[in-house]
Each structure stands twice: as C-alpha cells, then as structure tokens.
C-alpha cells in the first residue's frame, strides 16, 4: 500500500494506480467567506506535468471560487476514497479556457472514466498545479 506523503511528480506505483482507476472525487474550494465548498467531480492526475484537471462549466460555483482568488490562483484540494484507500492532491488552481487545454482535459477524463463528456461550448478546465500529495493507494 502507498503511504502518506507522496511526491506529486513521482508517486509510487500503487498511488498512481489508484488515481488511474474510475473513482468519483471531491473538489474543495473556498467561498468568499472562507468556508469550504465541496463538490463531486471527476479528476485526472498527470504527475509528469504535476497537474490535476477538473472539467467544469464556466458558470459553476467551483469555477467562480477559483476565479475569485485572482491571478495567484486558488488553494484547493481534490480527494478520492475507496475503503481504506484514499488519496488527496493539493495545489493552486487556475481556470483555463484555451480549447487545446480543455480538449486535453476531456481526453484524459474519457480515458479515466470510460466515457466522452458531451459537448459543452461553455466548458473550461480547472488545472491544479500540485504542491502536495498524500494518501494510501
């Protein structure tokens, strides 16, 4: 079993394998008053680029919370749990609207979750530049 902590750029095989399985995750962002906003999402993990990605509609609260943090990005966490296995990735989130980045996030989502997201002209990607990884794969 993988152990806490992990190197977000070079996790051990069981931790990375856990992030490649199909699991529903949560994304935690901060509201304007500082309270946590926790929502279910699909997450993809790219240790080679030290990124996690979440596709979202640009009008969603999670996107608004990230944008409200400004140019420095929002501190966020994504997490998944399966029995005694758990994994959390933390970092700074940024909303990206570039079609190539959104398409890459959609491709990775389809690969992990086994279905291609439906068309959405207002889709964006939340890219999380990872600073910390922890858990037990």
Q: Using the Cα atoms of residue 92, residue 94, residue 100 and residue 105 in order, give the sign of their dihedral.
A: positive
Nearest to 40 by CA among 55, 27, 53: 27
Q: Using the Cα atoms of residue 24, residue 14, residue 112 and residue 129 in order, give the sign of their dihedral.
A: positive
Give pLDDT < 70 ranges for the chain: 1-3
At residue 2, the pLDDT reads 47
Nearest to 62 by CA among 81, 41, 82, 80: 41
- Contact residues for 108 (Cβ-Cβ < 8 A; gap 6+): 44, 46, 53
Neighbours of 66 (CB within 10 A): 27
At residue 40, the pLDDT reads 98
Nearest to 135 by CA among 83, 95, 94: 83
CA angle 42, 115, 25 (to 5 degrees): 15
At residue 137, the pLDDT reads 84
Edge-to-edge strands of the sheet including 25-30? 36-41, 25-30, 74-82, 85-96, 123-136, 51-57, 44-46
Query: What is this structure's pTM?
Result: 0.96
Q: Using the Cα atoms of residue 13, residue 19, residue 23 and residue 29 in order, give the sign of their dihedral.
A: positive
Neighbours of 116 (CB within 10 A): 11
């Amino acid at each position: 079993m993988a152990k806490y902590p992990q190197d977000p750029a070079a996790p051990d095989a069981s931790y990375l394998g856990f992030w490649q399985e199909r699991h529903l995750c949560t994304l935690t962002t901060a509201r304007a008053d500082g309270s946590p906003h926790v929502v279910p999402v699909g997450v993809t993990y790219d240790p080679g680029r030290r990124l996690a990605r979440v596709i979202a509609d640009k009008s969603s609260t999670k996107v608004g919370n990230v944008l409200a943090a400004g140019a420095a990005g929002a501190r966020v966490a994504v997490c998944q749990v399966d029995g005694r296995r758990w994994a959390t990735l933390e970092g700074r989130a940024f909303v990206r609207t570039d079609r190539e980045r959104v398409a890459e996030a959609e491709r990775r989502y389809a690969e992990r979750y086994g279905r291609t997201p439906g068309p959405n002209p207002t889709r964006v990607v939340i890219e999380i530049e990872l600073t910390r990884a922890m858990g037990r794969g």
